[in-house]
A and B are shown apart, each in its own frame.
Chain A
Amino acid sequence: EVQLVESGGGLVQPGRSLRLSCTGSGFTFGDYSMTWFRQAPGKGLEWVAVIRHKGHGGTIDYAAAMKGRITISRDDAKSIAYLEMDSLKTEDTAVYYCGGGRGSYRTPWGQGTLVTVYS
């Protein structure tokens, strides 16, 4: 069974950093592009970042709203994707989800991890 589990969320003050993890199982992690999404309370879905698999050059793209403050990376040997978030703002408060993809195929998402930035 394809499964993704996010972790690393929590309460943090503005300006601080946090690293989220997304652990995959049930599929060949290194063959998939990994993507982070988020959903602020009561709002819609928003794309955050994508890191493509090595077959697609391992290229990375970031959403403009967080570019310069986030770094996406992956450790295929451990089947984990990371999202390092710096200089957090109150508007970054959201549930963060990860998802995988290969060609047109999309994996299920994890249950998400809540990041709360409070002042």
Chain B
Amino acid sequence: EVVLTQSPDILSLSAGERATLSCRASQSVNGDYLAWYQQTPGQAPRVLIYGASLRAAGIPDRFSGRGSGTDFTLTISRLEPEDFAVYYCHQYGSAPLTFGGGTKVEIK
């Protein structure tokens, strides 16, 4: 099983700042099939990034993903008020599919 470890658990930042979220896999993610999801309270998770670096439809270009193998990063270049949320990484390259524990981006 590919275990995903996200860091930090909580990221306290102000609007306009840059956010860098990390996701580390216990073994190489097959095909770099790694996605990032954003979830705000009471809402369904929204896919931001798939295939490690491809932005999903309608996602602003301030969101970017990079990485391969075991180390992946989600960057939000300039935080907007609506970006304060919980972010999950997810590998779907091999079963069992797994998620990281999440990073909460909160207002400082």
Contact = CB atoms under 8 A, between A and B. Distances in A.
A44 B102 contact: yes
Given A44-B99, A50-B95, A61-B96, A110 B31 contact: no
A39 B51 CA distance: 23
B56 interface: yes
B63 interface: no
A104 B45 contact: no
Nearest to A111: B44
Interface residues of B, number: 25
Interface in A90-119: 95, 97, 99, 101, 103-112
Interface in A25-67: 35, 39, 44-47, 50, 61, 63-64
B92 A44 contact: no
Interface string B28-46: 0001110101010000111
B10 interface: no
Interface in B28-79: 31-33, 35, 37, 39, 44-47, 50-51, 54, 56-57
B12 to A, nearest CB: 20
Contacts of B98: 47
A44 B44 contact: no
B51 A50 contact: no
Nearest to A48: B97
B31 A61 contact: no
3 nearest A-B residue pairs (beta carbon): A104-B51, A47-B97, A61-B95
26 contacts: A2-B57, A35-B92, A44-B88, A44-B102, A45-B88, A45-B90, A47-B98, A47-B99, A50-B97, A61-B95, A61-B96, A63-B96, A95-B44, A99-B47, A101-B92, A104-B31, A104-B50, A104-B54, A105-B51, A106-B50, A106-B56, A106-B92, A107-B47, A108-B47, A109-B44, A111-B44
